[in-house]
Structure 1
Amino acid sequence: MTRDFPEYALARARELATGTARWEPITPRAAATVLLLRETPLGLETYMMCRASTMAFAASAYVFPGGRLDPEDYDRGQVLDEEVINLASLSVRMSADPAQTRGLLMCAVRELEEEAGVVIDPHALVLLDHWVTPEWEHLRYDVRFFITHMPEDQIAQPHGTEAVEARWLTPSAAIREADQGKILLMAPTRAALEHLLDHTEIATLVAASDARDIVPRMDRLQIEADGYEHWTIVHDRTGEILERNRPVPPIEAAGVQ
């Protein structure tokens, strides 16, 4: 399954790249998503949901439970022990102030319970990645990706109307199915899965995640002086190019123009 990159989005990306845009990118909303993990004989598996085709954002895509930060999450965040989560250090790694860091952790907990029926300890969340929806999109999110273990005494299952199905998948299986056109993965989702590929235990993944520099990444079209166009990944806050000659990113806000 693929989603063609629409002409309107390419036109907007080119306007941004050439400085000819007469519009301002919308401000992305802070959000959190959770890779719920379990260890199996096949390796690590993560819980993924297929979003309904009617959704404005990531329609028909396989995603992890998550959603945008709500004002109430800030209040809930006051229960967190800042020494246990190492609030000052975590805030730097999350590119957030301490209040937003607390809120995003509680957002992750709330969304996981709302969408999968699983209740977790927010202190057990580990930061995995950070992605920002590209500037040409009409819906944008500033998303922190977290990992945590699946509680043995609970069952994950879809709640609400956003998902049409849910499955436990190894990262290699999810990526393989995407490459075969069986499922749709957004670029940030695929990147998160790739972080899992070299690990069979949650503990080693946590250690690797804690040791890795995490910055807010975003897809952007780059047009060189000779007219050569290529996709890059940039640091969202600084604009520094982190990767060049990337594949064309799937559009995320399908149907929103």
Structure 2
Amino acid sequence: MSDTASADVSPAIPAATLVVFRRAPGGGAPELLMVERSSALVFAGGAAVFPGGRIDPADFELARTLGDADEDDLADSAARIAAIRETLEETGLVTGLTAPVDAAAARGARALLADVGELGIVLSAMDWTLDLQALVPFARWRPDHAGMRNFDTRFYLTDLGKGAVEIAVDRTENTHLFWATAQGALDLADEGRIEVIFPTRRNLERLAQFGDFAAARAHVAQYPSRLITPQVVTNGKQRQLCIPEDAGYPVTAEPLGSVRRA
């Protein structure tokens, strides 16, 4: 049986995150860019996550300039913009543009973003054009845990190719950056070398199924992005946190006692 949600659940905060693929230098499974969050942060402090964060009002303003009239399309575009902005801010990596960017330009854009806080100003200053279609919708997670800060997070995938780029941690919200295969990150978590929250673990398990970015795109075509709200389910004496079994995830339940939610 499924436990019912409490009435004191706060409205979810819109957010976006970006799963950046690159071809591993030595071949094999693709590597993903991950950041370790500062242990001082309230949400997911000390955990390894994908780059991302809240969707700001300026992200919606920039999305409106792109001509989105439908509210769903506007929300999706704003989320993609937020994912691009947060990735630049947290890692120094420029994604989602129509043309490649060299390391010097990326450093300049990151410094400007730190000053102004709006991606639209950076794009104008650098004479860059967005390519939002370079981001592939992967999933949307919206927990409804009572008494906790909940985020309505849209996950996107993007392909960096060979991955010969310069990245650096921002030293504010995050303390460490690293590239790892999805299975490698899971192994690090199982060894206790990194911590992952429930959504990150489930998404890493799903991402570990893909041998390259093309396989990930094919999978998304079969299992389009959908809203996932984990539910606590009681089976006999055991309580588990569960997600739908038809959303493309190979593991859909975890005993509640071993779950790190945030």
Q: Normalised by the size of structure 2, how large is the TM-score?
A: 0.73
Task: Tell whether 2:138 aligns with 1:128.
Answer: yes
The Cα of 1:123 is off from its aligned counterpart by 2.1
CA offset digits 1:142-161 (Å, max 9, x no partner) = 11111101265632221241
- The one of 39, 43, 65 aligned to 1:53: 39
The Cα of 1:250 is off from its aligned counterpart by 3.0
Q: Which residue of 2 aligns with 1:119?
A: 94
The Cα of 1:212 is off from its aligned counterpart by 0.8
> For the Cα contact (< 8 Å) 1:48–1:65, is it kept in 2?
yes
Q: Output aligned runs, 1:23-38, within 5 Å.
A: 23-38=7-22
Q: Which residue of 2 aligns with 1:6?
A: none
> For the Cα contact (< 8 Å) 2:198–2:260, is it kept in 1?
no
- The one of 185, 207, 221 aligned to 2:232: 221
CA offset digits 1:92-150 (Å, max 9, x no partner) = xxxx7222112111111111111111121222000112212342242110111111012
Distance 1:228 1:146, change over 3 A: same
| Distance in structure 1 (CA, Å) of the matches to 2:56 and 2:170 | 19
The runs of at least 4 consecutive aligned structure 1 residues that moved more than 6 Å come to: none
| Distance in structure 2 (CA, Å) of the matches to 1:43 and 1:181 | 22
Secondary structure, in 3 states, of the residue corresponding to 1:17?
coil
Secondary structure, in 3 states, of the residue corresponding to 2:199?
helix
Structure 1 vs Structure 2 CA RMSD: 2.7
| Distance in structure 2 (CA, Å) of the matches to 1:212 and 1:18 | 27
> For the Cα contact (< 8 Å) 2:16–2:52, is it kept in 1?
yes
Task: Tell whether 2:86 aligns with 1:102.
Answer: no
Unaligned runs of 5+ in 2: 97-131, 245-250
Aligned residue pairs: how many?
A: 216
- The one of 227, 233, 239 aligned to 1:230: 239
Task: Tell whether 2:174 aligns with 1:163.
Answer: yes
Task: Tell whether 2:67 aligns with 1:75.
Answer: no
Task: Tell whether 2:207 aligns with 1:196.
Answer: yes
| Distance in structure 2 (CA, Å) of the matches to 1:168 and 1:190 | 16
> For the Cα contact (< 8 Å) 1:222–1:231, is it kept in 2?
yes
The Cα of 1:61 is off from its aligned counterpart by 0.5
Q: Which residue of 2 aligns with 1:146?
A: 156
Distance 1:172 1:123, change over 3 A: same
Unaligned runs of 5+ in 1: 1-15, 89-95, 236-242
The Cα of 1:56 is off from its aligned counterpart by 0.3
| Distance in structure 2 (CA, Å) of the matches to 1:79 and 1:98 | 13
